[in-house]
Amino acid sequence: MKVVIDARFYGPEGAGLGKYVEKLLEYLEQLDKETEYFIFLRKENFHLYKPTAPNFKKVLADARWYSLKEQVLLPITLAKIKPDLTHFAHYNIPFFWAGKFIVTIYDLTKTEFGKQASNIKNPAVYLTKQTIYNLVLKRAIKNSLKIIAGSESTKNKLISWFKVDDKKIKTIYAGPDELFVDNEKTINTEEVKEVANRYHIQQPFVIYVGNAFPYKNLVIVLRALKLLDKKISFVYTSSRNVFVDKLAAQAKELGVGNRLITTGFVPNEHLAALYKLAACLVFPSLSEGFGLPGVEAMASRCPVVCSDIDVFKEVYNEAALYFDPNSASDLTNKINLVINGSDLRKDLINKGLEQAGKYSWRKLAIETLGLYKKVITEGVDK
């Protein structure tokens, strides 16, 4: 059995998708010693993936996503391998590939928010790319044998917006990196202090992990910061710097510029320490495919304060404190409750540990492998 996995998002540059592909491969290597895997990578991340199993082979497919080269190179490379199944970790499927494939669709933010989910400034270029995006997404949905959704929320949007048969979609949840799990035991006080000093961070602070696209709603955190105790700062961590300058300008305009700390990319071993120090993780997003930072924070004993949206209520359940994403005063109140309410804080930590324990990358890989085998051997549900 031959399976191709398009891992061109592998690594920090791929952000959430990069982590998804990385952990999927890590556990598939442990679980499956029989299937022959061909892992597509770009020149920039080819060295990052180091397979430990002989049945996993790296293949250079040096084309950026959404490029013309991708449309030409990938079908040619796939045709040489003749896979039984291809797993595209994103919906940008080459137009000229007619082989069997499944696709992961973790979120639909570009459909839901349009310009707010894009960093393209030129209106004509944006309109062209959005039109192509719509075409590519619809084709991926139509031609895939199965769709992996990152949450029931995303699955329901696929059914409602694109009229997809629910039998075609399988929800497979992500999980926290093992490094975050119960880091109380794995990270000592001295290490925590060293990490804080490295990034020039002092307590108390709230933390956010992710990009700064407008639909992430980070301006509400800045407005809340203005209402909070002046000692509290806002730590922004991300591997991407898109919209960070705008965020800094908004902070300065609101008079809290000196309380916004932008760290850039933070490796997991440092992020675990920051979670341990933070008053809470603030997750104000208006939409997500899953919300992995919240699960990581919970696994690290860090309380989560997040927007009251369906996907968070699905994934976090009663383990988070929810606020109206349009109300800075509500966010302010919820942060103060976590900081000042020791019983509430303990309750959130305990519930968070239990909730995070429901998710794991190993479980994701087991379910994904089961889907590969089902599609190849049994076909698809009619």
Same domain, 153 and 275: no
372 & 280 share domain: no
pTM: 0.90
94 lies in the same domain as 198: no
Note the helical H segments in 5-122.
15-31, 68-81, 109-113
Same domain, 317 and 250: yes
Task: HSE, CB side, 13 Å, CA atoms: give it for residue 63.
Answer: 19
pLDDT at 187: 63
Rounded distance, CA 247 to CA 236, Å?
Answer: 10
Please tell me whether residues 330 and 233 are part of one structural domain: yes
Contacting residues for 35 by C-beta, under 8 A, at least 6 apart = 1, 2, 3, 55, 372
Domain co-membership, 370 together with 327: no
Which amino acid is present at 64?
Answer: R
Q: Which residue in the block uniquely carries the two structure tokens 């093992």?
A: 178
> What string of DSSP letters covers 185-221?
HHS-HHHHHHHHHHTT--SSEEEEES---GGG-THHH
Given CA atoms 261, 348, 273, 358 in this order, what sign does their dihedral have? negative
Cβ-count burial of 33 within 10 angstroms (0-12 exposed, 13-18 middle, 19+ buried)? exposed
Domain that holds residue 136: 2-175+361-378
* Structural domain total, the chain: 2
* pLDDT, tens digit only, all 382 positions of the chain: 899 999 999 987 777 888 899 999 999 999 999 999 999 999 999 999 999 999 999 999 988 887 888 888 999 999 999 999 999 999 888 888 889 999 999 988 888 776 555 556 666 765 777 777 778 889 899 999 999 999 999 999 999 999 999 999 999 999 998 888 866 655 666 778 788 889 899 999 999 999 898 999 999 999 999 999 999 999 999 876 778 889 999 999 999 999 999 998 888 889 999 999 999 999 999 999 999 999 999 999 999 999 999 999 999 999 999 999 999 999 999 999 999 988 999 999 999 999 999 999 999 999 999 999 999 987 655 4
At 39, is the secondary structure helix, strand, or coil?
strand
Q: Which two tokens stand for residue 38?
A: 């061909």
Shared domain check, 191 and 57? no
Q: Which amino acid is at 345?
A: R
Q: Which residue has the tokens 């020039």?
A: 200
Residues 295, 323, single domain; the answer is yes
Token pair, residue 128, equals 């062209």
Cα–Cα dist 64/41, whole Å: 10
The rounded distance, in Å, linking the Cα atoms of 167 and 379 is 13
- Residues 314, 374, 108, 58, Cα dihedral to 10°: 120
User: 368 and 352 in one domain?
Assistant: no
pLDDT at 163 (0 to 100): 94
> Does 215 lie in the same domain as 71?
no
348 in the same domain as 234: yes
Strands (E), 100-173: 101-105, 146-149, 169-171
Both 270 and 259 in a single domain?
yes
Task: Note the pLDDT of residue 117.
Answer: 54
Q: What per-residue confidence (pLDDT) applies to 192? A: 81
Sign of CA dihedral 223, 322, 217, 239: positive
CATH of the domain at 157: 3.40.50.2000
d(Cα 298, Cα 121) in Å, to the nearest integer? 36
